[in-house]
């Protein structure tokens, strides 16, 4: 038994901590670390101990070095097998195809029709584990040569997701771009078997519900429809989300009738209502031209039917703005 | 759309179909198809939103490809037969290519993928024209060349269409997509009987057009595009709910309604031609169609789904929508079964 304990004590994983650079005081990052219990904590020197984590095998309360759980130790060499990976991938796709066929038989989205029709509220995305973060992609103007940085990680007690980083509106020095400064978090397009594109059908709901906690910055909520055609990739529907800052959670309800249409980043004169039967992705963008750190904590994102909201579309088309529609 | 433009576009659509129906020259038939396709694009884009434009683009690309294939088949036929007249097509390659082109225009499987997407993207009135009027021209050409068509190809397309139409419509909540899959399934039934008795295909087409027109008109009356909005009809207009019940049962092919006539006749004709497996398979897959029609019917007329207001019956105001054709369509879609013995005059 003692040998088992000794073996288990020896098999621990080392953690790494990215030390903040002196040139970039990540104030928001420090605040984020204060707010959340990240798995990434400062590496403790051998002489110092931390009583925050105990290994499972340590029955005596023996303090150990804190380690990062997502990096394997040198003793445990990960098995890299190309054939096994291919076979697993194929099996996964066929399993998803089988689930798809069974769900198709049961009803829309794999649930009975009466359940779908009677549903008045639905949580679409929630953040309770690392696998929930995999459904999102973060991007910033670093892709075009800017200096903004954005990160996404799990929040405190794995009850929320924390989007944080630094916004920099310094334009990239490529001779082309005059403006810069955005950070975004976009949901991945849902995929079925063999990576077929799927979409969300929210036609029986009329409001987007977000439970967030921000730092007072104004965000844009963007919704994209299905992107079969190339031109549709540049089209999206957006609305503003003003965060209050402060320690209290904020419940943001945005009716879908308020979303306005934009193409290639420009709000178009001719406005169309958002059609909810083929929603592809939802995203949050920060581009308020204020340099500095930011954070946004998200508990969940859902949709619901507000029976008091009867507006169909908030914007009108007028002959002055878009004469083409009134020819 | 301004009335003069609407008149020009609508008359071009009608003229295109008439040219296809009355021509015996392959080039004129092709021209009729092109006129029809180009004229319906503004009709599909009537609502002028990105989804309608996407649907129109998809429709145009599919139909243009089908027209290209049709022209290829016509040229091959010209090469081997030496004439442009629509008659027996001696060359099997030409016959196959023309059949595939017309199947693509109709939305027969495996060229059916555009039908639900396009129908969903356009308005109810445009979808109605797409699923009814646009079937007449290709089916008329298929009727004329039916003796030359490869029967195995047609039966395969028919079987897959019936299966796809039943399976695809199973868990849809969007009404236009449900009707699109219904159209695919009905086209499958028509394709199955085309080789043996083309007249029955015309009968099936006529009854299908009447039922689909009636269904679309009822949805346009309610402005319903989803099952949920249709399930609130009991609160607004209970008469419409009962009419939807009748039409759904007729679309499903249940006696004693009109929709049973084509199914009965087709199964009888197929069994007379020593085909047992095919009608059995088609009758079984028709149950899938019946399942989703009945689900729609259940949500609309047989149960009272919770609605936004608490009233049992809303105030009945006189409707401002003029649906002149609705009563005769409802009667024709539901009460024609006793006239079946008169079908012997078609022999």
pLDDT by residue (tens digit) across A234-292?
889 999 999 998 789 999 999 999 999 998 888 888 888 899 999 999 999 999 889 99
- If asked whether residues A132 and A259 sit together in one domain, one would say yes
Count of domains in chain A?
3
Residue length of chain B: 347
Stronger pLDDT, B41 or A74, i.e. the higher one:
B41
Whether A65 maps to a domain, the answer reads no
- If asked whether residues A96 and A141 sit together in one domain, one would say no
Residue B82 is given by DSSP the state: -
Class of residue A59 by CB neighbours under 10 A (exposed 0-12, middle 13-18, buried 19+): exposed
The CA angle B232-B233-B236, to the nearest 5 degrees, is 100
pLDDT of residue B177: 94
- If asked whether residues A98 and A194 sit together in one domain, one would say no
- Residue from B212, B162, B152 nearest B186 by CA: B162
pLDDT of residue B1: 76
B6, B40 in Cβ contact below 8 A?
Answer: no
- If asked whether residues A27 and A109 sit together in one domain, one would say no
- If asked whether residues A100 and A144 sit together in one domain, one would say no
Domain region containing A250: 120-305
Mean pLDDT of chain B: 90
- If asked whether residues A104 and A251 sit together in one domain, one would say no
Residues of B in contact with A313 (CB under 8 A): none
- If asked whether residues A29 and A3 sit together in one domain, one would say yes
Residues of B in contact with A114 (CB under 8 A): 299
pLDDT of residue B116: 94
B230, B222 in Cβ contact below 8 A?
Answer: yes
- If asked whether residues A207 and A96 sit together in one domain, one would say no
What whole-number distance in Å separates Cα of residue A302 and Cα of residue A315? 24
Whether A323 maps to a domain, the answer reads no
- If asked whether residues A25 and A166 sit together in one domain, one would say no
Q: Write the Ramachandran bin of B176: left for phi over 0, alpha for psi from -120 to 50, otherwise beta.
A: alpha
pLDDT of residue B347: 60
Q: Do A108 and B171 lie within an 8 Å CB cutoff?
A: yes
> Where does A228-318 have alpha helices with state H?
none
Whether A68 maps to a domain, the answer reads no
- If asked whether residues A100 and A161 sit together in one domain, one would say no
Does B173 touch chain A if contact means CB atoms closer than 8 Å? yes
Say if residue B57's pLDDT is above 70: yes
Say if residue B222's pLDDT is above 60: yes
What whole-number distance in Å separates Cα of residue A26 and Cα of residue A122? 36
Which residue from B minimizes the CA distance to A309?
B308
- pLDDT-based confidence at residue B16 (cuts at 50, 70, 90): very high
- If asked whether residues A253 and A270 sit together in one domain, one would say yes
Whether A327 maps to a domain, the answer reads no
- If asked whether residues A209 and A137 sit together in one domain, one would say yes
Looking at A58-72, A213-227, A231-245, B102-116, which range is the least confident one?
Answer: A58-72
Say if residue B248's pLDDT is above 70: yes
Say if residue B339's pLDDT is above 90: no
Q: How far is A259 from chain B (nearest CA, A)?
A: 14
Whether A103 maps to a domain, the answer reads yes
Mutation site for A-interface testing, chosen from B5, B48, B54 by largest number of A Cβ within 10 Å: B54
Cα–chain center distance at A186: 6
Whether A72 maps to a domain, the answer reads no
Instruction: Provide, for chain A, the percentages of residues in helix, strand and coil under a 3-state DSSP scheme, each rounded to the nearest 5.
Output: 25, 25, 50
Across residues B69-87, what is the average pLDDT? 92
Mutation site for A-interface testing, chosen from B1, B6, B45, B50 by largest number of A Cβ within 10 Å: B50
Say if residue A175's pLDDT is above 60: yes
Whether A61 maps to a domain, the answer reads no
Kindly report, residue by residue over A16-43, the tens digit of the pLDDT.
333 333 433 444 444 444 434 334 443 4
Whether A44 maps to a domain, the answer reads no
């Amino acid at each position: 038994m003692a040998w088992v304990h000794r073996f288990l004590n020896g098999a621990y994983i080392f953690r790494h901590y990215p030390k903040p650079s002196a040139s970039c005081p990540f104030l928001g990052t420090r605040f984020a670390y204060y707010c959340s219990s990240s798995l990434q904590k400062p590496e403790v020197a051998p002489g110092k101990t931390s009583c925050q984590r105990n290994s499972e095998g340590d029955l005596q309360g023996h303090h150990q070095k804190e380690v990062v759980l997502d990096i394997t130790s040198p003793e445990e060499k990960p098995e890299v097998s190309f054939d096994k990976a291919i076979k697993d991938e194929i099996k996964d796709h066929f399993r998803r195809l089988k689930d798809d066929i069974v769900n198709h038989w049961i009803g829309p989205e794999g649930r009975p029709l009466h359940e779908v029709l009677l549903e008045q509220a639905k949580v679409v995305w929630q953040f309770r584990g690392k696998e929930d973060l995999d459904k999102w992609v973060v991007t910033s103007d670093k892709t075009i040569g800017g200096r903004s940085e954005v990160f996404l990680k799990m929040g405190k007690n794995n009850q929320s997701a924390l989007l944080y980083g630094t916004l920099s509106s310094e334009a990239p020095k490529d001779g082309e771009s005059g403006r810069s400064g955005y950070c975004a978090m976009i949901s991945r397009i849902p995929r079925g078997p063999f990576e077929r594109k799927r979409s969300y059908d929210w036609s029986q709901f009329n409001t987007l519900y977000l439970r967030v906690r921000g730092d007072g910055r104004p965000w844009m909520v963007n919704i994209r429809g299905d992107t079969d055609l190339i031109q549709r990739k540049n089209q999206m529907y957006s609305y503003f989300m003003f965060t209050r800052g402060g320690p209290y959670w904020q419940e943001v309800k945005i009716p879908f009738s308020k979303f306005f249409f934009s193409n290639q980043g420009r709000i178009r004169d001719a406005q169309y209502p958002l059609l909810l039967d083929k929603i592809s992705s939802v995203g949050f963008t920060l581009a308020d031209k204020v340099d500095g750190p930011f954070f946004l904590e998200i508990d969940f994102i859902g949709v619901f039917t507000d029976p008091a909201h009867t507006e169909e579309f908030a914007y009108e088309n007028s002959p002055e703005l878009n004469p083409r529609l009134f020819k | 759309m301004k009335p003069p433009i609407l008149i020009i576009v609508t008359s071009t659509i009608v003229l295109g179909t008439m040219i296809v129906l009355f021509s015996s020259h392959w080039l004129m038939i092709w021209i009729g198809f092109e006129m029809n396709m180009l004229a319906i694009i503004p009709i599909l884009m009537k609502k002028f939103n990105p989804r309608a434009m996407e649907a129109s683009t998809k429709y145009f690309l599919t139909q243009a490809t089908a027209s290209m294939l049709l022209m290829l088949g016509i040229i091959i036929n010209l090469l081997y037969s030496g004439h442009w007249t629509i008659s027996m097509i001696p060359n099997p390659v030409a016959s196959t290519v023309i059949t595939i082109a017309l199947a693509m225009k109709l939305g027969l499987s495996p060229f059916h993928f555009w039908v639900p997407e396009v129908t969903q993207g356009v308005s109810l009135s445009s979808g109605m024209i797409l699923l009814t009027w646009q079937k007449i021209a290709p089916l008329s050409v298929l009727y004329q060349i039916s003796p030359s068509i490869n029967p195995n190809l047609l039966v395969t397309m028919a079987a897959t269409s019936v299966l796809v139409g039943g399976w695809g419509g199973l868990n849809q909540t969007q009404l236009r997509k449900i009707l699109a899959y219904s159209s695919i399934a009905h086209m499958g039934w028509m394709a199955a009987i085309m080789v043996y008795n083309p007249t029955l295909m015309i009968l099936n087409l006529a009854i299908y057009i009447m039922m689909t027109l009636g269904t679309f008109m009822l949805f346009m009356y309610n402005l319903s595009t989803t099952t949920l909005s249709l399930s609130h009809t009991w609160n607004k207009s209970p008469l419409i709910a009962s009419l939807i019940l009748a039409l759904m049962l007729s679309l499903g092919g249940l006696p004693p309604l009109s929709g049973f006539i084509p199914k009965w006749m087709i199964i009888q004709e197929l069994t007379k031609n020593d085909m047992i497996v095919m009608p059995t398979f088609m009758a079984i897959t028709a149950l899938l169609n019946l399942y989703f029609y009945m689900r729609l019917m259940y949500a609309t007329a047989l149960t009272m789904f919770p609605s936004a207001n608490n009233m049992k019956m809303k105030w009945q105001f006189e409707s401002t929508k003029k649906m002149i054709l609705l009563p005769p369509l409802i009667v024709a879609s539901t009460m024609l079964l006793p006239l079946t013995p008169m079908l012997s005059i078609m022999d």
